[in-house]
Amino acid sequence: MSRIPDADDVTPKVAGVPVDDPDVSSVLYDANMIEGALEQLAALVVSHLGDFEVFVPVTTGAMMFASDLVRSVYTMERMLREELRRGYKRMVISCATCASYGAGTTSDANAEVEVRLPSCDVKGKRVCILEDIIDTGRTVMALTKALYAAGAEEVALIALMDKSARRDAEATKYFEEKNMKIACAFMCPDEFVVGYGLDYGGRYRELPFIGVLKPELIAASAEKK
Ligand code: IMP
Ligand code: MG
């Protein structure tokens, strides 16, 4: 997997601050840390993905991340316009939907990932996927394959979080073969996290931080099934 040059500048951080939400055991990344990471990712997009035109947020999880990031990119482009000596990037933003699991916490290794492609034409375009979290990598792999099948010239990935401990070998091999440009803002421990768009059964997306969901809540809902 190739990292976009300078991606290391987006230093992974883990805070582990206690939080006053009864369902969350600790905050991994608070609003300030998220804001700082987005600025760095925006700088990366402006400096290294200048020829990427189509941006594809994966709904619903990436909605907060993508909406903040694309506005940061716009502001950053304007700030750097003298240095860049190029016209403004006019982004095409169009969402994709990928479904691999509903109310559970892990995707089924054998299940097909259902992909609904963005409605815009990606033929001959450089396309950047915006994803909340890359876990096994199967979701991003399925979407990347579908975008190439639809004629995309190149597909890159920007993810807010990277749960690399759980990466699937086939996905890693595929990203390497494609020499895919990948940047992630934060490392994610092998725990189930919620907030800032990330959900558990559709809940917790509205949290203004990313935190670890109390494991007993996952165990309790698994028992009810
Ligand atoms: P993958 O296909 O295993 O990489 O799974 C990626 C998808 O699973 C992401 O788009 C998320 O929607 C979801 N996911 C993975 N880990 C978490 C988590 O800790 N919290 C919430 N959603 C997660
Ligand atoms: Mg998702």
Q: Please, which pLDDT band fits residue 89 given cuts at 50, 70 and 90?
A: confident
CA nearest 183: which of 111, 131, 120? 131
Pocket residues: Cβ below 6 A from ligand 1: 58, 61, 100, 107, 131-139, 163, 192-194, 198
What is the band of 99 on the pLDDT scale with cuts at 50, 70, 90? confident
H-helix or E-strand spanning residue 208: none
Q: Which domain holds residue 63?
A: 2-224
Confidence of residue 11 (pLDDT cuts 50, 70, 90): very low
Q: State the pLDDT at residue 148.
A: 98
pLDDT in tens, 133-163: 999 999 999 999 999 999 999 999 999 999 9
Percentage, residues of the chain above pLDDT 70: 85
Quickly state the pLDDT bin for 111 (edges 50, 70, 90): confident
15 contact partners, CB below 8 Å, separation of at least 6: 26, 27, 28, 29, 30, 33
According to the per-residue pLDDT averaged within each range, which of 29-33, 63-67, 221-225 is highest?
63-67
pLDDT, average across residues 101-109: 58
Q: Model confidence at 81, in pLDDT bands (50, 70, 90)?
A: confident
Instruction: Tell me which of 30, 68, 132, 135 is the catalytic residue.
Output: 135
Q: In this structure, are strands 126-134 and 24-29 parallel, antiparallel, or unpaired? A: unpaired
What's the CATH code of the domain at 216?
A: 3.40.50.2020
Cα of 124 vs centre of ligand 2, distance in Å, is 26
Q: How many domains does the chain have?
A: 1
pLDDT at 5: 54
